[in-house]
């Protein structure tokens, strides 16, 4: 009951942007992935099989239009949208290092990892050493996913500030590179508020931040640089690429 009106609002927003998306064929799709599972495992929600991920990479390689996070930032800033794709991973399960990383490197495809500090070095997720190894690739961009994987909406303003600042600082110390992008945990309007989005902008810690509104990105005043849309990768979406 606590989030019932927020869930309704979030659903309306998703339907609105998905409808408007139909009129923007050249929009950029920021793809969101979580966990990759072996082909003998039935994928659950937010999981994708290895064979389907491999198919995604093959299709994107043939298109030749996958952007790095910095290239996407330039396209967004300059309002240049030509139907490109951006690959992002949230949480970063160990399977990303095991299955995705080798394929992405072999096919010269850029990608972004949104790291949640509390999940590092825990069962099922990447280790600090694996993070450092992947970050050394020129194809890899590291972004923050917060310190704790929680609803930012439920945090006090000062705690939101700490999540933004401390996660960036911790990651930069680990990888010895700047961290300029952020993705809200869960990323819906149920999980984060307009105040949270304004906090990211006001802090100036990040060039851009991401939510989970399931829509492409096009030139629009209603798409904020601090709450960019992303599309969950499914088998049906891959088949349309």
User: For residue 220, what pLDDT is reported?
Assistant: 83
Q: Using 50, 70 and 90 to split pLDDT, how confident is the model at 3?
A: confident
pLDDT tens-place string over residues 140-150: 999 999 999 99
**For residues 89 and 111, is the Cβ–Cβ distance under 8 A?**
yes
Instruction: Note the pTM of the prediction, 2 decimals.
Output: 0.96
What is the distance between the alpha carbons of residues 164 and 168, in angstroms, rounded to a whole number?
6
- Domains annotated for the chain, with CATH where assigned, are 4-240 (3.20.20.370)
- 234 Cβ neighbours under 8 A, 6+ residues apart: 48
Q: Taken in order 104, 105, 110, 114, is the CA torsion positive or negative?
A: positive
pLDDT digits (tens, 9 = 90+) for 73-123: 999 999 999 999 999 999 999 999 999 999 999 999 999 999 999 999 999
The pLDDT value recorded for residue 2 is: 73
Residue 1 confidence (pLDDT): 64
CB 205 within 8 A of CB 146: no
């Amino acid at each position: 009951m606590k989030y019932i009106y927020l869930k309704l609002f979030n659903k309306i927003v998703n339907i609105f942007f998905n409808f408007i998306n139909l009129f923007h064929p050249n929009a950029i799709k920021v793809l969101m992935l979580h966990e990759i599972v072996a082909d003998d495992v039935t994928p659950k929600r937010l999981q994708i099989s290895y064979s389907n991920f491999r198919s995604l990479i093959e299709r994107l390689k043939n298109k030749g239009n996958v952007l790095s996070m910095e290239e996407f930032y330039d396209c967004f800033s300059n309002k240049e949208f030509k139907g490109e794709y951006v690959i992002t991973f949230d949480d970063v399960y160990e399977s990303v290092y095991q299955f995705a990383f080798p394929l992405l490197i072999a096919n010269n495809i850029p990608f972004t990892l949104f790291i949640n500090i509390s999940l590092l070095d825990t069962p099922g997720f990447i280790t600090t050493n694996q993070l450092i190894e992947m970050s050394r690739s020129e194809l890899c961009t590291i972004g923050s996913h917060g310190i704790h994987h929680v609803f930012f909406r439920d945090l006090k303003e000062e705690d939101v500030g700490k999540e933004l600042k401390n996660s960036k600082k911790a990651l930069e110390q680990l990888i010895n590179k700047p961290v300029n992008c952020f993705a809200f945990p869960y990323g819906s309007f149920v999980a984060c508020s307009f105040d949270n989005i304004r906090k990211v902008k006001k802090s100036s810690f990040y060039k851009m931040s991401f939510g989970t509104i399931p829509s492409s990105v096009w030139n629009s005043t209603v798409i904020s640089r601090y709450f960019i849309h992303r599309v969950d990768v499914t088998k049906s979406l891959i088949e349309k690429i």
